[in-house]
Amino acid sequence: MTGTTEPTRTQLLARFATTRDEEIPESVRDYGRLVLLDSLVCGLAAVRLRRSRMVQRVAARFGGPAEATVFGLEQRVAAINAAHANADMMNALDADDTFFNSAHFAVFGVAAGLAEAERLHADGASLLRASIIAFEINARLNLSTSLMAFEDGQFRWSPLSSHGYASMGAAAACAVVGGWEPERLAHALGLVAWLAPPAKNSYMAERRSFNAFKYGPYGAIAHAGMLGAALAEEGYTGDLDVLDRTPGFIEAMGFLGGERHEMVAGLGSKWWITETSLKPYPTCRFTHAALDAIRAFPGTHGVPVSQIESMEIRLSPAAYRTLQFREPAPRIPDTAVAPLDGAFNMPYAAALALLGHAPGPQWYDPERLADPAVWDLARRITTAPDPVLDAEWEADLREHPGGQIRRTRGALTIRAGGREYVVESDFAQGDPWDDTTRADWDFVTGKLASFCDGILDADTQERLVEVVRGIDDVADVAETLSPLLARAR
């Protein structure tokens, strides 16, 4: 589009960021409130993890003006440093939302929007709008890529990948809170294309253990968005055609390729945030349908857990292609990355669910990781491919190269008390495509209670829900919302 009078995709996205509250349907705004609260819950629940303590110390070290809150840290720091730390913590338990079973990126808009709203003493309506707009931009960039594919009937992950594109949503969140004109944001997005973490070969499908970044440096991605926005405010200029060049920014994210028509199609009329799943467990989304079925099994069939002789869990092709699911580790060492390894260990998660342990960061407490009862049960649980999902996912990816995968389903064979039970389910709790599973305020309030037990007292939890539900009426985020977040220790 360079050299023509037609706006570039970057400029179109920047114009979209000026969307007014009244132009966002109330159903979208209400689901946006749920996603906002859910993202905050994920960060608050992670404050005591060893990895979180590390990033809190880094935020304190870099410090800066006392502009914004870091979960679990008494000291307030520069907004850019708060966004870095909070984005990292909001993904630390792998409990943040999941878009079409492929990516997490709501937290980038929340982390950047919250930090900027605190810095500017902005109102709650602008924070909500910022998180929704940021999500939409990141969703469209995600749909223009292809992380997953089938080749010769076999599922494969892209060898190179990055969530770096989500830096653009973080920059957009700053622009929305600050009330920018589109031209400045377009330059910020162009700058972010230079600053965002590039793709790398994380060999995710072959890993037996993750490093602290898992498959994306969440803090660095939020930081890049904040930095791009700050530079644009000072007058730096960026490439306005950065999303139109081929090969370009999208290819630099390392995906297998994809179609770009989703990037700007239906701006302002199609709202993708309503199709992101919220997660009741601190584990990979690929485990959730099975965990729902597992938790219900003893009561539904009247079978005591002690009688379970064996369990086979059939997994989606994306999960089974991942070594940690295909060959689960027989133990999880008590290290800073234990929550990351545990999130992909199906037998461990299934054992915790069967034994009735409430989901949350406590799943990765040292005593839980070393619990003989958990591992005795986990040893009876194996994984296998799910032929039904193999066929469904291949058809879905053929139709949507960007990967609009809805169903994971639970498919189990359980042998107990001399009998065999086959258990199947269609969707997981928190999936938005079915009225029986779609998240609502009871869902997120319950998650807050389970995940933040002992981290936030009951009165603070109740007040947090009240404030987020009424976020449009909050005159100053720094005065009303931030003090509640600062109570997590």
Q: pLDDT tens across 290-334, in order?
A: 999 999 999 999 999 999 999 999 999 999 999 999 999 999 999
Share of the chain above pLDDT 70, in %: 99
Q: Which of 190, 189, 172, 80 is nearest to 132 (CA)?
A: 172
83-107 average pLDDT score:
96
- Using CA atoms, how far residue 486 sits from 71, 124, 152, 478, in Å, is 6, 17, 52, 11
Better pLDDT: 382 or 149: 382
Question: What are the pLDDT digits (tens) for 337-376?
Answer: 999 999 999 999 999 999 999 999 999 999 999 999 999 9
Q: What's the pLDDT at 119? A: 98
The CA distance from 165 to 221, in Å, is 8
121-143 average pLDDT score:
97
Altogether, the residues listed in the chain come to a count of 489
Q: Which pTM value belongs to this model?
A: 0.97
CATH number of 9-280+448-485: 1.10.4100.10
Q: Beta strand pairing status for 410-416 and 308-315?
A: antiparallel
385 phi and psi, to 5 degrees?
-70, 155
224-236 average pLDDT score:
98
Domain boundaries, the chain: 9-280+448-485, 285-428
Distance of CA 197 to the CA centre of its chain: 17
Q: What's the pLDDT at 258? A: 66
What is the residue whose two structure tokens read 């009937």?
153
The answer to whether 58 touches 87, Cβ cutoff 8 Å, is no
The CA distance from 76 to 152, in Å, is 53
Better pLDDT: 178 or 160: 178
Residue 193 DSSP code? H
Q: Is the pLDDT of residue 1 over 50?
A: no
The answer to whether 288 touches 428, Cβ cutoff 8 Å, is yes
What is the residue whose two structure tokens read 């390392």?
254
Q: Which of 250, 104, 116 is nearest to 176 (CA)?
A: 116
Instruction: Assess if CATH 3.40.50.2300 describes domain 285-428.
Output: no
Q: Which of 76, 78, 77, 174 is nearest to 133 (CA)?
A: 174
Instruction: Check whether the bond before 280 is cis (ω within 30° of 0).
Output: no
Q: Which of 177, 175, 222, 176 is nearest to 197 (CA)?
A: 222
261-269 average pLDDT score:
92
Q: Which residues contact 67 (CB under 8 A, 6 or more apart)?
A: 76, 77, 78, 79, 82, 115, 118, 119
Measured at the CA of 361, the angle between CA 30 and CA 97, to 5 degrees, comes to 30
Q: What's the pLDDT at 257? A: 66
Q: What's the pLDDT at 403? A: 79
Q: Please report the sign of the dihedral spanned by the C-alpha atoms of residue 23, residue 482, residue 85, residue 335.
A: negative
Alpha helices in 46-162 (DSSP H): 50-62, 79-90, 106-120, 124-143
The CA distance from 292 to 284, in Å, is 13
Q: Is the pLDDT of residue 76 over 50?
A: yes
How many alpha carbons fall within 13 Å on the CB side of residue 58? 17
Give me 215's structure tokens. 């498959």
The answer to whether 82 touches 89, Cβ cutoff 8 Å, is no
Q: Is the pLDDT of residue 411 over 50?
A: yes
Give me the residues paired with residue 415 across strands.
310, 420
Q: 65 exposed, middle or buried (CB, 10 Å; 0-12, 13-18, 19+)? A: exposed
Q: Which residues contact 140 (CB under 8 A, 6 or more apart)?
A: 13, 262, 263, 264, 272
Give me the residues paired with residue 205 across strands.
none
The CA distance from 168 to 190, in Å, is 9
In this prediction, residue 145 has a pLDDT band, given cuts at 50, 70 and 90, of: confident
Q: Which of 190, 175, 194, 188 is nearest to 231 (CA)?
A: 188
Q: Is the pLDDT of residue 254 over 90?
A: no
Give me the residues paired with residue 423 across strands.
412
182-206 average pLDDT score:
94
In this prediction, residue 5 has a pLDDT band, given cuts at 50, 70 and 90, of: confident
Among the residue ranges 21-35, 139-153, 448-462, the one predicted with the least confidence is 139-153
73-78 average pLDDT score:
98
Q: What's the pLDDT at 151? A: 87
Helical (H) or strand (E) element with 385 = strand 381-385
Q: Is the pLDDT of residue 28 over 80?
A: yes
